[in-house]
Structure 1
């Protein structure tokens, strides 16, 4: 990385890149305690906060909220992984979860499933321990879970021990950004913990930093530090819903919006790293929050309308029958097999078979072959709704 890539105020944080005498690396400047020129973005943050409040209100009164949010979490895993170039689809992820086998599925499906596992780990820790659980050991554990399949190739759940860079793989001199050498990482991450992860208003500060401003700063600072050999983007995106949950908000999932604006997302983070320019990131993030809140509310309402339609179709079956109980679960498990139906409803194999066959007859499920699995069933209407982009016709 060359000096002329950075503004003058960033150049004081340049150090020699480890193992590359002709290259310089940027040690992340101290985490800002306020967004520079914050008054310019007050309206954007207010609009995003209002959207988040509306989402929270909907979720609090939403029937079957656990099923809807389960599916949205898996959608997040797919889109966050796709930002990094994976190809696994939501249907393939759900098929993998139902069968616990990857035969015939996209090679990336395991990578995507690790994101689901890491998100579940983080949410459980935060819900049990509150904001105090949002600490460096948790981040290491998230990374270890995400990168489980890379064990042995480079450190997982531990800071990288080599110099890395962002840009073409051949020459560090051609990099768009070179983060700090390994010896600086512990201090940088401890500073991020103390200033943002464990945020408290300091005496003498002007005003309290809003949760969404904390979100913006935390993600940008983590990506600037770039503490791991690989998986920094996914780990950093995990921190956003976890920080929201730690502050009493719903776990909003932003990766769909960021995937649709992937180059702008990369450019916005680079603007902070190289020039200390926060405007592009604030504009992108607040727009993504509004879009993601509106999308989550629309999906939730559409799925519940779909469930009401299904329940009318099966109204003629016994009220205590599996065929009456299974449709609600399909909102969270839209790809299912007999074994999963047995587990969810605690019923016998013949009863699960009968329920699924009846739902096929009613047009709620259809049998599909996914990978090497020919006894899978999908709720096509759910998957089509989840795959629909915001603003696309129904």
Structure 2
């Protein structure tokens, strides 16, 4: 539906240049979102896919282990959209206190995303609503290390910014002036918390994501925080028990279409076109996450059958493989803490897993402080 401009322009100054900043109208849209037959059908498909995804947390014997790695995959993908070069292996190596193959700032930013996401889920489960206080806390966690430490962690921006273009009057988009952020956020917070009327959770997540990106309240980290907001809303609403839905891969693959939809909502009010894109992102992402979880469990079962070839080492190898399924990049010290096996036994197991069965690979090339990766597991996570 073409509603026209979904807000108003106001004069502002950015970088010493006069420009027109956009102030979004409060949500929900007026007139209300039109759920025609096509959108209803695609929304139903997304909800079915979410139901299958949610079942992972109760049907899989290793849901917490899957969640550990899947959260890190999302952190990598969301940060790559912002330009970091960190990979999943880089992140896990950094968490093992190893040296990643990318600039330290890159991997620190990804690590901060993991911290912010886990903190957000913790706060939601403690009963905290999604408010300015929570969002600022998450932004502070997101920007604690790396390049973000100099970008006012936890504080709304104090100046006018613009997106795209080398000067504000030629920008792709200019968000609200700093002195209008508070009122925009107050309206946004009421919508998120169903005041005065409730909005269906999936539709709320879709609308809220666009509104957050449009308000652009922080100097940096808005994209990552806006994407993080989606699973927080769905977990808060009880649609998902665990934060297993991450749309960064889909948004990255369809980046140009994604940005075009955001801008078209602002210019034409076509929320329905954005919703079609959003629910397709949910269905595609949820179905792939379910397949990934199933493939990882199949991988572990298949690989553990092969451990019988190791004879007397097979019992210890089973314990090491279970630990690697939990943390697919690990060193001997970490495996000792997880399994209780001696360092010597773990060393023999890893040597056999690498050179006899080809299930793990040493990734540092060092003689000391060696780190091993369960490569097939990481390959499945990286598949999309």
- TM-score between the two structures when normalised by the length of structure 2: 0.89
Question: Which range is displaced more, 378-387 or 345-354?
Answer: 345-354
SS in 2 for 1:364: coil
Aligned match for 1:363, one of 350, 358, 365: 358
Q: Does 1:275 align with 2:268?
A: yes
Q: Does 1:57 align with 2:55?
A: yes
Q: Does 1:384 align with 2:379?
A: yes
1:196-275 alignment runs, 5 A limit: 196=192, 198-199=193-194, 202=197, 209-248=199-238, 249=240, 250-251=242-243, 252-275=245-268
SS in 2 for 1:253: coil
Where does residue 119 of structure 1 map in the other structure?
Answer: 117
CA distance in 2, matches of 1:362, 1:214: 49
CA distance in 2, matches of 1:65, 1:52: 15
* Contact 2:93–2:100 (8 Å) recurs in 1: no
1:1-394 alignment runs, 5 A limit: 9-10=5-6, 13-18=8-13, 22-32=18-28, 36-39=33-36, 41-98=39-96, 100-102=97-99, 104-107=101-104, 108-129=106-127, 132-148=128-144, 149-150=146-147, 153-168=150-165, 170-196=166-192, 198-199=193-194, 202=197, 209-248=199-238, 249=240, 250-251=242-243, 252-315=245-308, 321-360=315-354, 361-369=356-364, 375-389=370-384
- TM-score between the two structures when normalised by the length of structure 1: 0.87
CA offset at residue 319 of structure 1? 10
Where does residue 3 of structure 1 map in the other structure?
Answer: none
SS in 2 for 1:314: helix
CA distance in 2, matches of 1:244, 1:345: 35
CA offset at residue 176 of structure 1? 1.1
Q: Say if 1:356 and 1:286 are closer, same or farther in 2 by CA, change over 3 A.
A: same
Question: Which range is displaced more, 295-304 or 316-325?
Answer: 316-325
CA offset at residue 134 of structure 1? 2.3
CA offset at residue 282 of structure 1? 1.3
Q: Say if 1:371 and 1:320 are closer, same or farther in 2 by CA, change over 3 A.
A: closer
List per-residue Cα deviations over 1:192-245 (Å, max 9, x = no partner): 11111x22663xxxxx53211011011011011100011100000011111111
Q: Say if 1:277 and 1:288 are closer, same or farther in 2 by CA, change over 3 A.
A: same
Where does residue 205 of structure 1 map in the other structure?
Answer: none
Gaps of 5+ in 1: 1-5, 203-207, 390-394
SS in 1 for 2:155: coil
CA distance in 1, matches of 2:140, 2:342: 37
List per-residue Cα deviations over 1:74-104 (Å, max 9, x = no partner): 1101111111122111111111112x24454
* Contact 1:92–1:370 (8 Å) recurs in 2: no
SS in 1 for 2:370: strand
* Contact 1:103–1:371 (8 Å) recurs in 2: no
List per-residue Cα deviations over 1:128-160 (Å, max 9, x = no partner): 22xx33222121111111112346633111100
**What value does the CA root-mean-square deviation take over the aligned residues?**
2.6
SS in 2 for 1:92: helix
* Contact 1:122–1:142 (8 Å) recurs in 2: yes
Question: Which range is displaced more, 311-320 or 41-50?
Answer: 311-320
Gaps of 5+ in 2: none
Q: Say if 1:214 and 1:152 are closer, same or farther in 2 by CA, change over 3 A.
A: closer
